[in-house]
Structure 1
Amino acid sequence: MGETIPIAIPRKGRPLESVFDRLARRLDVSELADDVISTLRHEKALTKGTISPDDEDVYHRLATYSTVDDPTAPEYTLLRDDRAGKPRRIVFDSVTIPIDGVDGVPDGTEIQLVGREEPFRALRTHEFALGFDSADLVLEEVVELRPEPLGRIADVNARINPADTDVRVVTGLGDTVYHTLLATPEVAPASGSLDRAFLETYEGPLCIEPRYERLVQAVLGTRSLENVSFEYPPNGQEEEAAIADTGVGVYLTMTGSTAREHGLVLGEQLFPSETVLLESSPEVSDSIAAVRSMLANGPEETELAVGR
């Protein structure tokens, strides 16, 4: 009988979809991945009110999705959403996937994907040896602040104090959007680039999301922020509009179209907001290491050096 290896993953959103996209490429589970992703997108649309619910309430839909008769089917659970009224939202709970015919992985091995609100923190408390979460959370919690900036996923591990956590980044999944420097034309340099070097001479407010304060400090480096004060979007105001009012700021962009609609100039892409594979190093056995390599290595990327 093989080993069942639990892996913490997000319960919803882009990071969860990236995990299932990765598994669909590594294993023969495209149908499962499509089912989970489409189910959660449908439930998100219901929660946001962009589509009308059918006659079944959330509890009946949950019972329909989580079929106890099929042990290979995904299970879901209910979570209070943070939207107005705190509606109950159906999110991912767990699924067990057999791994057969993968080089280096013992026969009979299974992985059990387990939904967690913050997988990174579950690894920090040694509940799991492997997990997936946003690289942002690693920067917000454990990356050391230094005068010099942090610009790549590959450099994150060198900024983690071993006394703070045993968790390390194994690789990124490539589902990248960027924390980008944005400014109005009046504030952006008339000649030269809107980049970290610009901030070293800039004095004044910088608009950011409060939850990204430590991340921005790590990404820009404390040297660039000596004459900068953080400001935050007022409640209810979208981030790009708040940056336009402030003059300069940092926010996530994919195409930059929303920023341009607010008259903002797109500057340097400071750091990728990307889903990453994580490991809690002391918990990694030989079989877990084999699964880790199966999840990490492929034509897209290779594992980072994490103390091996």
Structure 2
Amino acid sequence: MTGTVAVAVPRKGRPLEAALERLAAVGGSDGAALADDVSSTLRYEKAVTKGRQSPDDRVYDRLADYSEPHGDGAEYTLVRDDREAHPRRVVFDSARVTVDGTEVLLVGREEPFRALRTHEFALGFDSADLVLEEVVGLRPEGLSELGDVNARIDPRDTDVRVATGLGDTVRHTLMARPETLPPGADLDRSFVADYEGRLCISPRYERLVEAVLGTDALDGVEFVYPEPGVEEEAAIADTGLGVYLTVTGGTAREHGLVLGTDLFPSETVLLENEAESTAATDDLEALLGRGVETAIRAD
């Protein structure tokens, strides 16, 4: 068995589940058991935080029951949730799993991408969105594929690169009220390039949308944002045109919106800090990317 390889993973949410599913796919029965245990625990705790479950035990008692500090199972910790009243929420902390003879230490981080940027880890999983929001350069032309991301990262800015996408794809999608579109027009990038007016987006996605659509297409466009407490699809319907995440598009259609071009995948990605890579991390990266269609690794 080789030495332990530490891998940064999110503490909760879809990117953590996608990372666990990838480890389950390559890590055999141990990886699958870990993925099932962590996913089911965090889904239950999410339901508790949202008020859909009412446990009898206090949160500290549940935390003690979940964690196995002297065993081989996952450990958990508490963070303050950003919901009203800021409840404590149980989230993932760490776990060990053997993958093809390599002991992998999964370490929970609020933002794994930033932990890689500060050279704490050689490998980690995070959302592709964060890469676009933080380090992808803005250019006149837009960005449409995950495979194009590394070419937009300034090597003077960070040593982190995208190795592969995991395929858990939600899409950043154009949406509009039907009357916003001229007769026969398609809701696509060319429409935005000719459009002048307001475009509704979530505030956190401003730089991402600029990178995806390109600065030329946004000439004459004014970004506007949902009011607090207003869901994004409703705000886009009020504005007339916007960009937001879709899975099936059902919520957008409920607000009378037409779905246009899928602009970019909001996908969990495996990241590598090239300056921290070793033979062991390179081998693990190759294993984690095995069989994934969106393998990207830069030369």
Q: TM-score range by the shorter chain?
A: over 0.9
Q: Measure, in 1, the Cα distance between the counterparts of 2:183 and 2:171.
A: 24
Answer yes or no: is the 8 Å Cα contact 1:206–1:230 preserved in 2. yes
Q: CA RMSD in A?
A: 1.0
What residue in structure 1 maps to residue 122 of structure 2?
129
Query: Which of these residues, 210, 223, 230, is aligned with residue 223 of structure 2?
Result: 230
Helix, strand or coil at the partner of 1:86: coil
Please list, as runs of the form range in 1=range in 2, the aligned pairs for 1:91-110 lying within 5 A after superposition: 91-99=91-99, 102=100, 107=101, 109-110=102-103
1:305 CA displacement: 3.4
What residue in structure 2 maps to residue 207 of structure 1?
200
Answer yes or no: is the 8 Å Cα contact 2:167–2:294 preserved in 1. no
The TM-score normalised by the length of structure 1 is: 0.95
Q: Measure, in 1, the Cα distance between the counterparts of 2:236 and 2:294.
A: 37
Answer yes or no: is the 8 Å Cα contact 2:177–2:258 preserved in 1. yes
Helix, strand or coil at the partner of 2:174: strand
Q: Measure, in 2, the Cα distance between the counterparts of 1:303 and 1:79.
A: 33
Q: Measure, in 2, the Cα distance between the counterparts of 1:132 and 1:246.
A: 35
1:302 CA displacement: 5.6
Helix, strand or coil at the partner of 1:3: strand
Please list, as runs of the form range in 1=range in 2, the aligned pairs for 1:90-239 lying within 5 A after superposition: 90-99=90-99, 102=100, 107=101, 109-239=102-232
Cα offsets for 1:183-242 (capped at 9, x unmatched)? 001102321310110011111000000000000000000010001000000011000000
Please list, as runs of the form range in 1=range in 2, the aligned pairs for 1:1-308 lying within 5 A after superposition: 2-28=2-28, 29-53=31-55, 55-70=56-71, 72-99=72-99, 102=100, 107=101, 109-298=102-291, 300-301=292-293, 303-307=295-299
Q: Measure, in 1, the Cα distance between the counterparts of 2:68 and 2:105.
A: 17
Counterparts in 2 of 1:154 and 1:182: CA distance versus 1, 3 Å: same
Amino acid at match of 1:83: R
1:32 CA displacement: 1.4
Residue identity over aligned pairs, in percent, reads 64
Q: Measure, in 2, the Cα distance between the counterparts of 1:43 and 1:305.
A: 35
Question: Structure 1: which 5+ residue stretches go unaligned?
Answer: none
Amino acid at match of 1:60: D
Answer yes or no: is the 8 Å Cα contact 1:293–1:303 preserved in 2. no
Q: Measure, in 2, the Cα distance between the counterparts of 1:177 and 1:138.
A: 16
Aligned pair count reads 297
Q: Measure, in 2, the Cα distance between the counterparts of 1:20 and 1:11.
A: 11
**Further displaced range: 117-126 or 22-31:** 22-31
Question: Structure 2: which 5+ residue stretches go unaligned?
Answer: none
Amino acid at match of 2:85: G
1:142 CA displacement: 0.3
